[in-house]
Structure 1
Amino acid sequence: MNPRLHAVLRPPVLAVNTPLARRRTSRTLASTPRPLRLELGGLAPREGWVVTNVNAVTRHFLDATRTWPLEDASVSHVYSDNVIEHVPLEAGRTLFAEAFRCLRPGGVIRFVTPDLRGHVDRYLAGVSPQGDPEAAVYEQYGLTVDHPLDWVRIPIASFGHHTGYVYDFETLAVELERVGFTDVTRSVPGSSDHPELDGLDQRADEGGAQMAVEATRPGDVA
């Protein structure tokens, strides 16, 4: 869709759809057996999951940076692909805390997000992004990828990330541990030791440009 047309249409569509999508979310969450699997920022239905978003056309509206409409320990898995880099740190901290509250003991969360350190390492090594398979997605979006510094400029300045918070693994691990998560580990993009989370990632072919991070709410599975 033409960006200008999208900008014009989004507010009225959002105003009409959001109340409907909120009510649909309430009904879906109330009727889904516990523990449920929750996806944040998803774009398409996923079998066995409640998929939520805040975009203008989502079926299930959920602002994950506010209190979730779920009881404690009601979720077994949380999955979020390329979402947390769009929200400021304090909002992200609310998201992490709500995920911890709603996950049952032994529950697992998985984030996929740009790896800022991976981008910086490529810049410092002087790697040109032109033609690099891990930068191909940037070229597809029509972004300038002419020089090594674009490895750093793009994840910080593009896609609205400048209003959010971009992570490296160490920083994300500290933030997750801050709210109580343990066993914070990096996974191979597109792969997980947890069958429920295996094969979900949409951008696994970007290699080191993306990182997949999992963490566990401590305690025995009920």
Structure 2
Amino acid sequence: MTSEPARAFPGWNWQDPDSLAERMDEFSASIARCDKLEQLAPRLPRTRAELAGHGVTGIEFAAFRTEHPSGLATDLAPLTGPDGAAELGPLYRVDGESLFTRLDVGEPLPFADGSLDWAYAEHLIEHVTLPVAIRWLAEVRRVLAPGGLLRLTTPDLRIYIEGYRDEDRFFAKHRRRLEVMQVGPPMPERKAFMLNQIFYLYGHRWIYDLDELTFALAEAGFDVSKVRSCGFRTGERPDVAALDTTFRRDETMYVEATA
């Protein structure tokens, strides 16, 4: 007999990472839309002066829009407006407000050395392999000005391991939160499933704890003495920390590094 939650989410199978990845891709495409997509420049501003001319001081990765008033939102997926989709290369204004450009974090960043004051990436780094992540972090360090800030958020393996050892501490709360937010049907209650899903669902490629993320940052050239663990919406720059979203807060690690 089919349960009501399964009927409410046809085709959603928590235990099939490949089919769920297709559903997540469909969801991403559905939110990659805007009412107005205006090309501001055929070529992305590259230097610090050019970026400042557009009011840009920092970059938010894996975002179609940024809430930071001087931020540039970026994503590899094309943002689509009524007259077409964003192409790789140009600078766009979205709905008369946020700035956006398409970027591939697997490629060198198209900015000059020291051209940005801050960079932010929420739940991005776990979606690429470790070598790609290290190359991307090295590029971020290159484009940050001395003293510039990088803020990363990513699922914390430590939280999941602790959840496996004491299920009531995290797993049960995590399942309830996703059910309340109607993110698919109820998750299975098996502890092994809960641990496996952090590795194999959502297109994840590499999972971090603080030591592993510090290793990646060190390999990318960051000074480990300037890598620090932070809390939700707390950090060196309140304006950048304010970009943290509540969704998945219970499983997230917040880390900052200074260039």
Smaller-chain TM-score range? 0.7 to 0.9
Say which SS state the counterpart of residue 149 (structure 1) adopts: helix
Alignment match, 2:239: 196
Say which SS state the counterpart of residue 104 (structure 1) adopts: strand
Alignment match, 1:38: 59
Alignment match, 2:150: 109
Q: CA RMSD in A?
A: 3.1
Cα distance between partner residues in 1 of 2:63 and 2:116: 16
TM-score (normalised: structure 2)? 0.68
Alignment match, 1:51: 73
Say which SS state the counterpart of residue 60 (structure 2) adopts: strand
Q: State the identity as a percent.
A: 24
Which protein shows a greater Rg?
2
Cα distance between partner residues in 2 of 1:150 and 1:129: 14
Q: Which residue type is aligned with residue 27 of structure 1?
A: L
The Cα offsets for residues 42-72 of structure 1, whole Å up to 9 and x where unpaired, read as 1323321011001132641011221010111
The Cα offsets for residues 121-158 of structure 1, whole Å up to 9 and x where unpaired, read as 110223376651x4445433226241222331121111
Cα distance between partner residues in 1 of 2:76 and 2:42: 12
* Ranges in structure 1 where 5+ consecutive residues have no aligned partner: 15-19, 218-222
Structure 1 segment 1-222 matched on structure 2, within 5 A: 26-29=43-46, 31-33=50-52, 36-46=57-67, 47-57=69-79, 59-127=100-168, 131-132=172-173, 134-139=174-179, 140-142=182-184, 144-161=187-204, 164-182=205-223, 183-203=226-246, 206-207=249-250, 209-217=251-259
Q: 1:25 to 1:102 in 2, by over 3 A?
A: farther
TM-score (normalised: structure 1)? 0.78
Say which SS state the counterpart of residue 160 (structure 2) adopts: helix
For residue 27 of structure 1, report the CA deviation from its aligned partner.
3.4
Cα distance between partner residues in 1 of 2:241 and 2:166: 32
Contact 1:129–1:145 (CA<8 Å) still a contact in 2? no
Q: 1:144 to 1:200 in 2, by over 3 A?
A: same
For residue 192 of structure 1, report the CA deviation from its aligned partner.
1.6
Cα distance between partner residues in 2 of 1:137 and 1:25: 43
Cα distance between partner residues in 2 of 1:37 and 1:81: 14
Contact 2:164–2:171 (CA<8 Å) still a contact in 1? no
Q: 1:121 to 1:103 in 2, by over 3 A?
A: same
Cα distance between partner residues in 1 of 2:198 and 2:256: 21
